[in-house]
């Protein structure tokens, strides 16, 4: 507890934060879990002796979640509620909560009770030791093996392979962020999962800890195997935005040249088969493949040129720069 008693976990640019810890809870049809989670989280935060706020984002629930949230907020000023007009999804809820958060350290959690509030102190210890992002690892998951655990392992492996940031559990909502790392980051789709990779790409220190993952107490899970495919599609967007936003021609043009080259090879092969009387052009699909690949290659190169023009308009119209300055010395 001594390590947490100081404010050394606050980043230099965050010392003006009015609150030490912000807990973000996206709520969607969790009426049966809210009261228990609220009391558990309050007990943990009060024991830490830190200033805090709990921000619940009510994401278009169809049960009595909103009424329970209103009741709790009426007698607890540290319990804050953001109410969406309708269901926008977990990433939107987390984004709204993070934008409203005033804490130096921001910790999102699931509201279904599977995340253990008692792990909050362990996250803060890692932040105090200098981590920018601390990711939870549900090493012993209490979920269905085939519909959730196995797809999650495959997705985590692919994300680590593509991003180069090796953590075990990108899908765990419970993470801790220094405020300067996460605020100002725009989140779309399922992109809240990739903040750890984003932080690492920008020089942040990312660590992970094993968290206690509990069985869902009540209610139904909002996730299924289809979510894995959505995450992988968002991963493609993340890679493009992080590595090719300033050079889209390298992305589209590279794929275009590969397609064009394969089209040429298919065309030459079909002509060779005809000249050596091995196979007529109408007896092989190679001419069709050749034409298709050549057209796709040309289209991708043209698309790269258009993307380059859009990128320049994006930066110049808003006077943006294609770089970020970490510090200046002797200016």
Q: In the predicted model, is pLDDT for residue 286 greater than 50? A: yes
Q: In the predicted model, is pLDDT for residue 3 greater than 50? A: no
Q: In the predicted model, is pLDDT for residue 198 greater than 80? A: no
Contact of 148 with 220, CB cutoff 8 Å: no
Mean pLDDT over 47-70 rounds to 92
Split at pLDDT 50, 70, 90, the class of 26 is very high
Split at pLDDT 50, 70, 90, the class of 10 is very low
User: Virtual CA dihedral for 126, 23, 79, 53, nearest 10 degrees?
Assistant: 40
- Look at residue 14 in the predicted model and tell me its pLDDT: 45
Sign of the torsion angle spanned by Cα atoms 117, 119, 125, 131 = negative
User: What is d(CA 308, CA 284) in angstroms, rounded to the nearest whole number?
Assistant: 38
User: What is d(CA 54, CA 269) in angstroms, rounded to the nearest whole number?
Assistant: 66
Mean pLDDT over 201-215 rounds to 85
pLDDT in tens, 90-135: 888 888 888 889 999 999 999 888 899 999 999 999 999 999 999 9
Q: Which helix (H) or strand (E) holds 54?
A: strand 52-58
Average pLDDT, the chain: 82
pLDDT in tens, 59-89: 988 999 999 999 999 999 999 999 998 888 8
Q: In the predicted model, is pLDDT for residue 330 greater than 50? A: no
- Look at residue 258 in the predicted model and tell me its pLDDT: 93
- Look at residue 8 in the predicted model and tell me its pLDDT: 44
- Look at residue 6 in the predicted model and tell me its pLDDT: 39
pLDDT in tens, 135-154: 999 888 776 666 567 777 87
Contact of 56 with 25, CB cutoff 8 Å: yes
Split at pLDDT 50, 70, 90, the class of 309 is confident
- Look at residue 220 in the predicted model and tell me its pLDDT: 57
pTM of the predicted model as reported, rounded to 2 decimal places: 0.72
- Look at residue 16 in the predicted model and tell me its pLDDT: 59
Contact of 103 with 44, CB cutoff 8 Å: no
Q: Where are the alpha helices (DSSP H) in 240-320?
A: 248-275, 286-317
Which residue would you say has higher pLDDT here, 223 or 7? 223
Q: 3-class DSSP state for residue 136?
A: strand
Q: In the predicted model, is pLDDT for residue 273 greater than 60? A: yes
- Look at residue 7 in the predicted model and tell me its pLDDT: 43
């Amino acid at each position: 507890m001594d390590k947490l008693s100081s404010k050394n976990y606050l980043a230099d640019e965050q010392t003006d934060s009015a609150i030490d810890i912000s807990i973000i809870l996206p709520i969607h049809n969790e009426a049966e879990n809210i009261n228990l989670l609220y009391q558990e989280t309050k007990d943990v935060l009060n024991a830490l002796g830190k200033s805090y706020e709990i921000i619940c984002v009510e994401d278009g629930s169809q049960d009595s979640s909103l009424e329970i949230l209103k009741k709790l907020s009426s007698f607890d000023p540290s319990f804050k509620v953001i109410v969406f007009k309708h269901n926008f999804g977990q990433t939107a809820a987390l984004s709204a909560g993070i934008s409203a958060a005033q804490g130096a350290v921001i910790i999102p959690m699931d509201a279904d009770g599977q995340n253990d509030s008692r792990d909050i102190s362990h996250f803060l210890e890692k932040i105090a030791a200098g981590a920018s992002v601390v990711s939870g690892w549900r090493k012993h998951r209490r979920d269905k093996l085939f519909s959730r655990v196995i797809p999650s392992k495959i997705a985590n492996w692919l994300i680590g392979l593509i991003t180069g940031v090796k953590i075990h559990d990108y899908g765990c909502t419970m993470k801790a962020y220094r405020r300067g790392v996460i605020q100002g980051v725009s989140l779309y789709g399922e992109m809240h999962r990739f903040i750890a990779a984003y932080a690492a790409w920008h020089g942040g220190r990312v660590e992970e800890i094993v968290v206690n993952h509990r069985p869902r107490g009540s209610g139904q899970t909002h996730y299924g195997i289809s979510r894995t495919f959505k995450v992988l599609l968002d991963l493609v967007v993340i890679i493009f935005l992080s590595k090719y936003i300033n050079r889209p021609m390298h992305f589209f043009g590279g794929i275009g040249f590969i397609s064009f080259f394969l089209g040429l090879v298919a065309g030459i092969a079909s002509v060779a088969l005809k000249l050596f009387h091995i196979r007529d052009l109408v007896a092989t699909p190679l001419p069709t493949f050749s034409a298709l690949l050549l057209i796709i290659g040309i289209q991708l190169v043209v698309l790269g040129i258009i993307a380059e023009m859009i990128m320049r308009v994006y930066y110049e119209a808003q006077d943006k720069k294609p770089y970020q300055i970490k510090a200046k010395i002797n200016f």
